[in-house]
Chain A
């Protein structure tokens, strides 16, 4: 009866052999192509360094003004603009200015990359059920696989630093924008699309004149979610050498500094709330034409 007692599994030796083969294979791969990949990502690294430097070296009043301006353009709400400015003043006053700027730089870069990659993928997905069928499980994996698991190959390939950190953030933050772009386009009213077809719109005219504008509220919800997810990766990214608010949090965890952890944690929360409110308001403003009743 031993068949039912012990699960029929590979022997320890075979299992070890299997793991070793995979490990060696990947190690060979990273030795072979690691440098090429690093060269490939070099422009990105330079951009990240430039952006971070820009934000840290710029005089703080200008940064606060720019942030207030963005908040105003997005939300058109005085409360949100004043709230954002006060948050940043408090962050600076409590000595977290530089870390916050680093975090802001990597979050902005990650968001831009996710939008740049995510929206086209979302459009592709919306155009074919087969592509949707292929991409959806990949997105599921990206969202649910523990971040530490994909940090291993990323670090093996690219070492420690900004680029692998950014990649880790992007892997986690990409799915919502892809999903919501796809969903937004698929939700566009069929009769409206028929109308575009009936007047002889070609594929591009249909996409950019009708589908994208009508999907915009959903796409913006995706951007909002992407930013939130990117912010939630800040601490994990700091484990592989990304500077910013995550590093003091890590120190606080390992040394039990309650106040340090709390302050930096709350700074991340403050950033999240500001981004969230601004992008949400922007999303709502974009669909104002649908809300106006006569």
Chain B
């Protein structure tokens, strides 16, 4: 397992008049509902543990009210955590004073917002250069760097427009350009594409994936849309009622949902488009034969190969051309089938909840 870049450990957030007092009750084992009833405090996030790798996209996914927007704000302390630890590149964020925190926000992490959060009184180029202006960099340099990123997100020619003159998709490109202009290593994206219509959303995901290919940022991406999570996440954490119930890579989340709640999420997902053949492949044996197939091929693409070559078996190879497994048509059809509730319950019987979390975190690679 590689060293994690952002570590969240035992993080709690309690909303109310006396979070500290409520925190003590929670430490003594009080549950969320009881806490609300007895003290009027809301346990927003409860014992969050999450390790995020450098240069990867960590998705935090949950429905509204699950605490995901709160969680991302605890990372740069737009919201103060009640208890716990946030380590970024070894530095303890919660121990920082106001000045250190400002430095962190200026240089280390930048943020993209759901409703864009653009400054309506500033032009596109002024918006894009905002982070640099805050750092006190000279205007010429700001203009140069801002122009480059505006160009990179495809908004050349709009430099002197105001945000209100652009469509939602274009505004969020400005939001993205603004976040990238500071060259921060970490990108926090709070439901960044949720306010956009589906077509534009896919387009923005493409832009992000494309940029990520080149920039290799560490991205924390919040979303309520599982399709989006599976598409862009290297790793996905599922949040429910302020608790993380599963952390794993997209393939495993689809194949081994930790409970019926997660499985329910997967219901409408097109598995063939997300699952890849290496997830389903079986060990090589002497009988294996057939055309070679890259391990990162999706089931949908694999199906195409099976049909075109009218074969019932393929050899799976990795990026270096080494044979690593085989896949039969039967395996493929079985993999497309959603696990039933019974199967999930059976699985849960064999491994306890904490076990599956452990296996989940250890399988990050």
A residues touching B (Cβ–Cβ < 8 Å)?
Answer: 189, 191-192, 194-202, 205, 209-210, 213-214, 289-294
Bound: A200/B130 CA distance, A: 10
In contact, A294 and B113 (Cβ under 8 angstroms): no
Interface assignment of B56: CB less than 8 Å from any CB of chain A: no
By a CB distance below 8 angstroms, the chain B residues around A209 are 133
A291 to chain B, nearest CB (A): 8
In contact, B120 and A292 (Cβ under 8 angstroms): no
A interface majority secondary structure: helix
Interface assignment of B172: CB less than 8 Å from any CB of chain A: no
A-B contact pairs, 22 of them (CB 8 A): A194-B117, A198-B105, A198-B111, A198-B117, A198-B188, A199-B110, A199-B134, A200-B102, A200-B104, A200-B131, A200-B134, A200-B135, A201-B102, A210-B119, A214-B120, A289-B120, A289-B121, A289-B164, A290-B164, A292-B162, A293-B164, A294-B167
In contact, B103 and A200 (Cβ under 8 angstroms): yes
In contact, A213 and B130 (Cβ under 8 angstroms): no
Interface centre among A196, A199, A201, A293 (most CB of B within 10 A): A199
In contact, B134 and A201 (Cβ under 8 angstroms): yes
By a CB distance below 8 angstroms, the chain B residues around A200 are 102-107, 131, 134-135
B207 to chain A, nearest CB (A): 20
Contact of B119 among A195, A202, A292, A293 (CB under 8 A): A195
In contact, A195 and B111 (Cβ under 8 angstroms): yes
Bound: A213/B113 CA distance, A: 21
- Tell me whether A214 and B121 are in contact in the complex, defined as CB-CB below 8 angstroms, given that A194-B78, A199-B110, A200-B106 are known contacts: yes
A208 to chain B, nearest CB (A): 12
Q: Give 19 new A-B contacts, CB below 8 A, not counting A194-B113, A200-B107.
A: A191-B113, A191-B114, A191-B115, A191-B117, A195-B130, A196-B134, A198-B76, A198-B110, A199-B130, A199-B182, A200-B104, A200-B106, A209-B133, A210-B119, A214-B119, A289-B120, A289-B164, A293-B165, A294-B165
In contact, B118 and A195 (Cβ under 8 angstroms): yes
B258 to chain A, nearest CB (A): 32
By a CB distance below 8 angstroms, the chain B residues around A293 are 164-165
Interface assignment of B215: CB less than 8 Å from any CB of chain A: no
The size of the chain B interface, using a CB distance under 8 A, is: 32
- Tell me whether A192 and B167 are in contact in the complex, defined as CB-CB below 8 angstroms, given that A199-B134, A200-B103, A200-B134 are known contacts: no
By a CB distance below 8 angstroms, the chain B residues around A198 are 76, 78, 105, 110-111, 113, 117, 188
- Tell me whether A199 and B118 are in contact in the complex, defined as CB-CB below 8 angstroms, given that A289-B164, A290-B164, A294-B166 are known contacts: no
A207 to chain B, nearest CB (A): 13
Which residues of B in the span 215-236 have a Cβ within 8 Å of any Cβ on A?
Answer: none
Bound: A293/B78 CA distance, A: 32
By a CB distance below 8 angstroms, the chain A residues around B164 are 289-294
By a CB distance below 8 angstroms, the chain A residues around B166 are 294
Bound: A294/B162 CA distance, A: 10
A127 to chain B, nearest CB (A): 16
Compute the total of residue contacts between A and B using a CB distance below 8 Å. 76
By a CB distance below 8 angstroms, the chain A residues around B120 are 192, 214, 289-290
In contact, A197 and B105 (Cβ under 8 angstroms): yes
B61-92 CB mask vs A (1 if < 8 Å, else 0) is 00000000000000010100000000000000
By a CB distance below 8 angstroms, the chain B residues around A291 are 164
By a CB distance below 8 angstroms, the chain B residues around A195 are 111, 113, 117-119, 130
In contact, B113 and A199 (Cβ under 8 angstroms): no
A13 to chain B, nearest CB (A): 51
Bound: A195/B102 CA distance, A: 13
Bound: A81/B284 CA distance, A: 89
By a CB distance below 8 angstroms, the chain A residues around B135 are 200
Bound: A201/B134 CA distance, A: 6
Bound: A293/B164 CA distance, A: 6
A187 to chain B, nearest CB (A): 12
- Tell me whether A213 and B134 are in contact in the complex, defined as CB-CB below 8 angstroms, given that A195-B111, A198-B76, A200-B103 are known contacts: no
Bound: A287/B119 CA distance, A: 13
- Tell me whether A199 and B121 are in contact in the complex, defined as CB-CB below 8 angstroms, given that A289-B164, A292-B165, A294-B165 are known contacts: no
A20 to chain B, nearest CB (A): 49
A204 to chain B, nearest CB (A): 11
B159 to chain A, nearest CB (A): 15
List the A residue with the shortest CB-CB distance to B114: A191
Which residues of B in the span 149-188 have a Cβ within 8 Å of any Cβ on A?
Answer: 162, 164-167, 178, 182, 188
List the B residue with the shortest CB-CB distance to A214: B121
B126 to chain A, nearest CB (A): 10
Q: Which 7 A-B pairs have the closest CB atoms?
A: A200-B106, A195-B117, A200-B105, A198-B111, A289-B162, A200-B102, A199-B131
- Tell me whether A199 and B119 are in contact in the complex, defined as CB-CB below 8 angstroms, given that A205-B134, A289-B162 are known contacts: no
Bound: A200/B109 CA distance, A: 10
By a CB distance below 8 angstroms, the chain B residues around A210 are 119
Bound: A202/B131 CA distance, A: 12
Contact of A192 among B102, B103, B105, B119 (CB under 8 A): B119
Bound: A202/B134 CA distance, A: 8
A253 to chain B, nearest CB (A): 48
Bound: A191/B117 CA distance, A: 5
Which residues of B in the span 335-349 have a Cβ within 8 Å of any Cβ on A?
Answer: none
By a CB distance below 8 angstroms, the chain A residues around B110 are 198-199
List the A residue with the shortest CB-CB distance to B132: A199
Bound: A279/B286 CA distance, A: 88
List the A residue with the shortest CB-CB distance to B115: A191
